[in-house]
Structure 1
Amino acid sequence: MWVERHGPGWRIREQVAGKKVTIESGYPTKTAAKAAITRMSADRMRGEYIDPKAGRITLGSWIDAWWPSYAATLKPTTQRTESSRVRNHIRPLLGHLPLDEVDTLAIQQFVSTLAAGGEGRRPISPKTIRNVHAILHKLLDAAVGQRLIRVNPSGSTGLPRVRRVEMRFLTTPEIGRLLAATPEHWKPLVTLLVATGLRYGEATALRVGRVDVLAGRLEVLEAMHDGIGGVPIFTDPKSERSRRTVTFPPAVGHVLAPLLVGRDRNDLVFTDLDGKRAVTRNFRQRVWPRILEDAGLGRVRLHDLRHTHVAHLISAGRPLTAISRRMGHASIAVTSDVYGHLLTEVDEGIMTAVAGMLPPPPDGGNLGGTGSEQPGAGRNVNEVRAGQML
């Protein structure tokens, strides 16, 4: 590499494949250009050299190069959602920028635009913004790995806080109203969701050969998701522990039995109204809201039926380890994190059970005694302790 004058300033030149090429230009003095050569040479010796021209590749071009190999590692449903986020948000707002101009400020402005909307764009939720930002972070991390840029500028982005969606737990009377308002065709599906806590995709992927109504159990081996153009996608369950056997009471077997008679083992248990197609998104988007309206229940997500199932198990004092296995959670920590706040209801029952194990105290349980000769008689425990400390 060498320096030479270029217009009013100086530039760095190098011979590559027999041709003289400009590495960088625009240095105000010869000394500044030579100092840059020294830094570049040191970076090359350490294996940290970044070609300045590499950063001029647009983010859109880098998406085209990076996406196919990344998409191949994703489940079909994840590939569909992440592709949508890149196509609808990242490419339109940042795709035209060279990689070296996608800096911290540009990314922060990008996040603000997603949150505020405007110019024909609707605001999107904090959770969606975080999901979009996560993909952008992966994009830029890969660019760092290919030595197109030196650092990932998305690491310090301020992101909107995600508001926790409150879980809805239906009471026994509310469950009765829900089932009463459910059309006959859909009643077996809703009953199963309430009685087993299956994820919606696990229930809609259930096949005839995996249900044993006499034994009162079913096998969860697949999950179904909405694909492009309404074509269903069948995948492995959410985690390895989601592959499980789930039991159900005779009442559930009673409503499932008619759906199994005379059908092939590989047929789906639940179908759309035509009795042939897999359950479509029409159930979630149109049928379910009408059921809730008829039942007078307000806003209840289908996933809240799973939460309801867990809440009733916890209220009945069932062990958290058993609940975790039944739900197919990746670990008991997941169960505890999601439902731990409900355990206070169980604590009261535990204390009652523990009290029943022990003989009653001789003084009837009144701490400090009841006679006037006892110090602190007529005072509560805190008053007695305070008197002892004085």
Structure 2
Amino acid sequence: MPVFKDKERGTWFVQLWYKDIFGNNKKKKKRGFKKQSEARRWEAEFINSLSSDPEITFQNLYEEFIKDFKFRARVSTIKMRNHIITKHILPFFKDLKIKDISPKIIREWQNNLLECSYSENYLRTISQVLSSIFTYAEKFYNLQKNPYKISQSIGSNERKKVINIWTEEEFSIFIKEVKETNFSIAFKILFMCGLRVGELLALTFEDINFSKHTIDINKTVSRDIKGTTIAPPKTKNSIRTIYCPDSLIKEIEKYKNSLYDVTETDKIFCFTHDALRRRIISISKKCGLKRIRIHDFRHSHASYLLYKKVDITAISKRLGHKNVKVTLETYSHLIPKSNDYLRKILEEIDF
């Protein structure tokens, strides 16, 4: 029996050997149980979680799922999923065995959520997290029937948030009041190149090709409760090389030459996300401009390109979207109406 008494602490602990999925011997130790029965219960659940069958409880399944997920996602994404699971999912499902979770039980859980005043988009996000856990159980715990697929999802992906943008004229008024060179360049990159703020703050001088007039986007600043870290971009498509206007490239090069003892691996911008936000608030108020978020500079860039009738595929690649569908879902309402132009082209057909 791998349950032992810790005489010094007056508690119980579990210590056992087991084989992982690759057949390797592993040692597991868990301390701090007040009662022997609690230690035995944990031991039984742990052993059960190794059996790769639907006898596993949802709590154990979640622990295995999140342990696996940590190797495949960004810190901010892990934090978000953990929050959703612990707040909306675990309280309802944690003590149930996955084999006993029926579509009707999931439906009951969904009805509880629908009684709350959550947005359609948030309901959909919660629902998708539960779906991913059951998909994991299908793949790795021999779950024969996925009850989530029968119960169907809730919520929708309709984005009701209004996208605020600045026109070229409004940005011109704003940028004239930005007196610090580094902040001025940062705002111009956001507006003229459409970078995400994390991508902007992660830029180093080696990412700028002054001869080819390009910016290489290959990393981002990720924020969490522990602080900021440099991480891979949001998606594989976010890794991209984009064209940067000649005037802006020259401005970046001039700024680089003005710095003392700078290296290629040095970050271009050493200020924070909040420093940018504070300047937007103060300067837009001073100039009588409507207040926008930092991310709205990216929307403004996309809006300008759409207004100039740039191909949607080219815009999607420039923004680093996963696919064109994401670009269309976000900016379809900004695409100029072309019925008149289409009619004119068709009328010109002459056989």
With normalisation by structure 1, the TM-score equals: 0.62
Query: What is the aligned partner in structure 2 of residue 302 from structure 1?
Result: 294
Larger CA Rg, structure 1 vs 2: 1
Of 164, 167, 173, which residue of structure 2 is paired with 1:171? 167
Of 223, 238, 242, which residue of structure 2 is paired with 1:245? 242
- Alpha-carbon separation, structure 2, partners of 1:324 and 1:142: 31
Matches within 5 A, 1:119-268: 124-146=118-140, 149-155=143-149, 156-164=151-159, 165-180=161-176, 182=178, 184=180, 186-213=183-210, 216-236=213-233, 238-240=235-237, 242-251=239-248, 253-254=250-251, 257-259=254-256, 261-262=259-260, 263-268=262-267
Query: What is the aligned partner in structure 2 of residue 319 from structure 1?
Result: 311
Matches within 5 A, 1:89-108: 89-108=88-107
- CA deviations on 1:355-381 (whole Å, 9 max, x unpaired) are 9x99xxxxxxxxxxxxxxxxxxxxxxx
CA contact (8 A) 1:107 1:157 kept: no
- CA deviations on 1:119-167 (whole Å, 9 max, x unpaired) are xxxx544323322221211212333445565422222245123442333
Residue identity in the other structure for 1:258: Y
Query: What is the aligned partner in structure 2 of residue 270 from structure 1?
Result: 269
Query: What is the aligned partner in structure 2 of residue 80 from structure 1?
Result: 79
Gapped regions of structure 2 (runs ≥ 5): 1-52
Equivalent residue of 1:233, what SS?
A: strand
Residue identity in the other structure for 1:246: Y
- Alpha-carbon separation, structure 2, partners of 1:266 and 1:301: 29
Go from structure 1 to structure 2 and tell me whether the alpha carbon gap of 1:233 and 1:89 turns closer, same or farther (over 3 Å shift): farther
Equivalent residue of 1:226, what SS?
A: strand
Residue identity in the other structure for 2:320: G
Residue identity in the other structure for 1:64: E
- Alpha-carbon separation, structure 2, partners of 1:256 and 1:345: 39
- CA deviations on 1:204-251 (whole Å, 9 max, x unpaired) are 211112224565332212222213411323214522464213222404
- CA shift at 1:256, angstroms? 6.4
Query: What is the aligned partner in structure 2 of residue 46 from structure 1?
Result: none
Go from structure 1 to structure 2 and tell me whether the alpha carbon gap of 1:142 and 1:219 turns closer, same or farther (over 3 Å shift): closer
Query: What is the aligned partner in structure 2 of residue 15 from structure 1?
Result: none
- CA deviations on 1:52-92 (whole Å, 9 max, x unpaired) are xx656431122123331233233444333323322333223
Go from structure 1 to structure 2 and tell me whether the alpha carbon gap of 1:284 and 1:130 turns closer, same or farther (over 3 Å shift): farther
Aligned residue pairs: how many? 292
- CA shift at 1:193, angstroms? 0.5
- Alpha-carbon separation, structure 2, partners of 1:269 and 1:307: 23
Residue identity in the other structure for 1:132: I
Go from structure 1 to structure 2 and tell me whether the alpha carbon gap of 1:248 and 1:323 turns closer, same or farther (over 3 Å shift): same
- CA shift at 1:333, angstroms? 5.0
- Alpha-carbon separation, structure 2, partners of 1:86 and 1:227: 18
Equivalent residue of 1:231, what SS?
A: strand
Q: Which moved more, 1:224-233 or 1:316-325?
A: 316-325
Equivalent residue of 2:336, what SS?
A: helix
CA contact (8 A) 1:208 1:269 kept: yes
- Alpha-carbon separation, structure 1, partners of 2:324 and 2:221: 24
Residue identity in the other structure for 2:213: G
Q: Which moved more, 1:221-230 or 1:100-109?
A: 100-109
- Alpha-carbon separation, structure 2, partners of 1:107 and 1:284: 44
Gapped regions of structure 1 (runs ≥ 5): 1-53, 118-122, 273-278, 359-390
- CA shift at 1:265, angstroms? 0.7
- Alpha-carbon separation, structure 2, partners of 1:296 and 1:159: 42
- Alpha-carbon separation, structure 1, partners of 2:341 and 2:265: 44
- CA shift at 1:181, angstroms? 5.5
Go from structure 1 to structure 2 and tell me whether the alpha carbon gap of 1:323 and 1:62 turns closer, same or farther (over 3 Å shift): closer
CA contact (8 A) 1:115 1:126 kept: no
